[in-house]
Structure 1
Amino acid sequence: MPSVDHAALLALFDRELREGARPDGPGARVERTGDVVRCVSTAQGWNGVVWSALDEATADAAIAGQIKDYTALGLDFEWKLYGHDRPADLGPRLRAAGFTPDPEETVMVGEIADLDLGATPPQGVRVVPVTDRAGVDLVADVHEKAFGEDSSWLRHQLLARLAADPDTVVAVVAMAGDEPVSAARMELVPGTRFAGLWGGGTVEGWRGRGIYRSLVAHRAHVAAARGYRCLQVDATSQSRPILERIGFVPLTTTTPYVYRP
């Protein structure tokens, strides 16, 4: 993305995806409480704060209010803190209130027209769209092997999205014969210029062969065909170099602060 207007792109990102957040699945809702925008779902969905406009005088009360509300619902939740959020000490304030930070990630953004999307899967690997329960099971299987995490939440959420609102989610799995070796999904946000790339993971033994890059290219072509202009990724230190070679640029950082009552 040559000659990026960083400030303008960051403002667009905040306005469309954070302050203007939309429900991310069946049973989810977006609420604004004071200067905080949050997502509320079931225990199997994603719950958390996506945007805030706080200062030194209002931050602690806002944090306490979110803890009280989510605890009353019996829900764990996440405060998704971005590197440019205010006040500058919001992270320490969250830790003092009982939140635990997960590892920091880099928000990467790419304008689809400027990305290098020529990657294809290696020989013997094919990319298969996921449209049913069998495909979702393959995605969940890859997730567990690639990340070493329970994938029951992913299985539930992806099945619900595909059944209720299939135009807002795209999932793919890379198959080597009958073996699922990589998987990823994309969330399409109606009314915005952004599509989000999520969950890209490859099982050990198949990494370093360009499969991740080919799944990025596949999803980018789908997003462009549906009229989206930009892709957004919360990148780990492993995926950031690959995305930079494709043409993504770092926009800010994001750190999930998790609260468990």
Structure 2
Amino acid sequence: MTPEHLLAAFQEQIRLGAGEGSTRSTRERVGLVFRVISSDPDDPWAMVDCPAGLGPDPDAVIAGERDHFASLGIPLEWKTYSYDVPADLGERLTRAGFVKEADEALMLGELPVLAADVVLPAGVTIREVATHGDARRVKQLYELVWSGAWGRADTDTSRDDELLDAADPNELSLLAEESADGPVRCAARVSLTPGTNFAGMWGGSTHPDWRRKGLFRALLATRARWALERGATLARVDASPDSEPILSGLGLQRVATTTPYKFVPERDGADPGTS
């Protein structure tokens, strides 16, 4: 598939279709935007996407979403793509008080190209995250790799209980280790988007001392095979600069840049439009 075909499938199936929702969130369309809202009262957050543009008055839509979630005290991420309209969406978000975060590469491709077996280093095994102890060790790895930005690897945000959500058959979390009580050497997650051809590859992170040993590729291949067995045919990754060269070498294609803009409400009743 060409980059144009892949991006068209992503736009139609994910952004305009099934979206970014999961069992831990709800998704709804409100006017010109899609909202994804956490269903966990202990971890409130929201994400907004505007795949069909913002109409004749973009600033009013942006302010409306900002003020809506600020009134609820919920942190908001506006997920943008480089082909969004208006073309100056990022500048408008910044003027409205949103803070730009790091650009990421939207990489898409066909799952079979990722599924080839990879030889693991001696003594390393891959298995499913199965206990809270596993989840804590994965969190320790993410904190080491991302300086406390839990789950930022390949741009996913997760919590311990999310790694153990056995009620969702559309997700799998993996770790690579030398022993069950030792440090996690690499960790990653895959999630299917029901009703689409896509499997999302998230959280791929490798311990700094274990890079360039094939662990990232091995977990990628394991996730690809798992997704293929369940009917997915396409992969999507929001890739960090570290991951992009590896994924590119394996056949995934950068089709766009995705950039999150964050707005955290002021406390003590401050005016959300003055930050």
| Matches of 1:208 and 1:221, distance apart in 2 | 22
What is the deviation of 1:169?
1.1
Q: Is the 8 A contact 1:186 1:219 kept in 2?
A: yes
1:13-42, Cα deviation, whole Å (9 max, x unpaired): 01222222152233x211111110110114
TM-fit CA distance, 1:203: 1.6
Aligned twin of 2:171? 169
Q: Determine if contact 2:108/2:252 at 8 Å carries over to the other structure.
A: yes
Instruction: Report matched runs for 1:95-244 at 5 Å.
Output: 95-115=94-114, 117-149=116-148, 151=150, 154-159=158-163, 162-165=165-168, 167-177=169-179, 178-244=182-248
Q: Relative to structure 2, which stretch is displaced further, 196-205 or 55-64?
A: 55-64
Matched-pair contact (CA < 8 Å) for 2:200–2:235? yes
Query: Is the 8 Å Cα contact of residues 49 and 78 (structure 1) preserved in structure 2?
Result: yes
User: What is the alpha-carbon distance in structure 1 between the residues aligned to residue 118 and residue 110 of structure 2?
Assistant: 17
Distance 1:150 1:92 in 2: 25
Comparing 49-58 with 201-210, greater Cα deviation is found at 49-58
C-alpha displacement at 1:118, in angstroms? 2.8
Q: Could you say if the C-alpha distance between residues 77 and 61 of structure 1 is closer, same or farther in structure 2, counting changes exceeding 3 Å?
A: same
1 CA distance for matches of 2:115 and 2:166?
A: 32
Whole-angstrom distance in 2 between the partners of 1:238 and 1:172? 19
Q: Secondary structure, in 3 states, of the residue corresponding to 2:159?
A: helix
1:245 is aligned to: 249
Distance 2:257 2:201 in 1: 16
Cα pair distance change 1:56/1:37, threshold 3 Å? closer
Contact 2:103/2:257, CA 8 A, preserved across alignment: yes
Per the TM alignment, residue 61 of structure 1 is displaced from its structure 2 partner at its CA by 1.1
Which runs of at least 4 in structure 1 moved beyond 4 Å after TM superposition?
Answer: none
Query: TM-score w.r.t. structure 1 length?
Result: 0.90
Matched, 1:58 2:57: yes
Q: Note if contact 1:184-1:200 (Cα within 8 Å) is conserved in structure 2.
A: yes
Report what 2:10 is aligned to. Answer: 13
Q: Please tell me whether residue 36 in structure 1 is matched to residue 40 in structure 2.
A: no
Equivalent residue, structure 2, for 1:23: 21
| In 2: Cα distance, 1:24 partner to 1:118 partner | 29
Q: Deviation per CA, 1:191-219: give whole Å up to 9, x if none.
A: 11001011111122111211111111110
User: How far apart are the structure 1 equivalents of 2:3 and 2:149?
Assistant: 36
Residue identity opposite 2:216 in structure 1: Y
Equivalent-residue separation in structure 1 for 2:60 and 2:44 (angstroms): 26
1:72 lines up with 2:71 in the alignment: yes
CA distance in structure 2 between the aligned counterparts of 1:149 and 1:29, rounded to whole angstroms: 27
Structure 2 gaps of 5+ residues are 152-156, 266-275
Runs of 5+ unmatched residues, structure 1 = none
RMSD: 2.0
Matched residues, number: 255
8 Å CA contact 1:116, 1:247 repeated in 2: no
Deviation at 1:157, TM superposition (A): 4.9
Conserved 8 A contact 2:115-2:220: no
**TM-score in terms of structure 2 length:** 0.86
Identity of aligned residues (%): 36
